[in-house]
Amino acid sequence: MLSSQSIGVMHHLVGFLLEPVIWALMLFAALSIIDIGIALAERFSGLKKWQASGQVEAFEKLAFKRIERSDFLARIAPMLGLMGTLIPLGPGLSALGNGELSILTTAMSVAFDTTVLGLFVGIIGFVLGRLRRRWYDEILTTMEQAHG
């Protein structure tokens, strides 16, 4: 079994992760908003320009990069949200044991906020990834048939 010293060290190390997790989630939320703008711009003008250019290989590279970014948001943000949920629950439950409800309330608030934000960013990444796959497949098929 673990000694109380190793548990204490682990507890402190995990506690230091909450702040970076929250900042990473906020960064991912900002990136997802930017990515929505990029997707709208490419849907209404960018894809037509790529199709007219006939540059299949360059378009494939761009498509791969953008789909990869959407997949990254869809997978990583919910994981960060879960981390942001679990990290404050330890101290929150300890505070409950000591009768300090205000600390538990803050911990639960952080836990719920990070969960929701992580899931929200994940949904945006998932939807953008699915839309982009469909859009890019259609454009690539058209480009390959035209220049085939």
The domain segmentation of the chain, as residue ranges, is 4-147
Q: Answer for the pair 93, 45: CB distance below 8 angstroms, yes or no.
A: no
Q: How far apart are CA 70 and CA 79, in angstroms?
A: 15
Q: Which residue, 146, 129, 125, 148, is CA-closest to 50?
A: 146
The pLDDT-based confidence of 9 (bands split at 50, 70, 90) is confident
Q: Are 139 and 53 within 8 A, CB to CB? A: no
Q: Is pLDDT of 128 > 60? A: yes
Inter-axis angle of helices 101-147 and 56-97, nearest 10: 170
Which of residues 117 and 46 earns the better pLDDT score?
A: 117
11-28 mean pLDDT: 92
pLDDT at 102: 85
Task: Identify the band that residue 112 occupies on the pLDDT scale cut at 50, 70 and 90.
Answer: very high
Q: pTM of the predicted model, to two decimals?
A: 0.87
State the pLDDT at residue 31.
97
Q: Is 144 exposed, middle or buried (0-12, 13-18, 19+ CB in 10 A)?
A: exposed
Note the pLDDT tens digit of each residue in 67-103.
999 999 999 999 999 999 999 988 888 888 888 888 8
pLDDT reading at 1 higher than 60 = no
Identify the pLDDT of residue 148: 59
Residue 114's closest CA among 106, 124, 126, 102?
A: 106
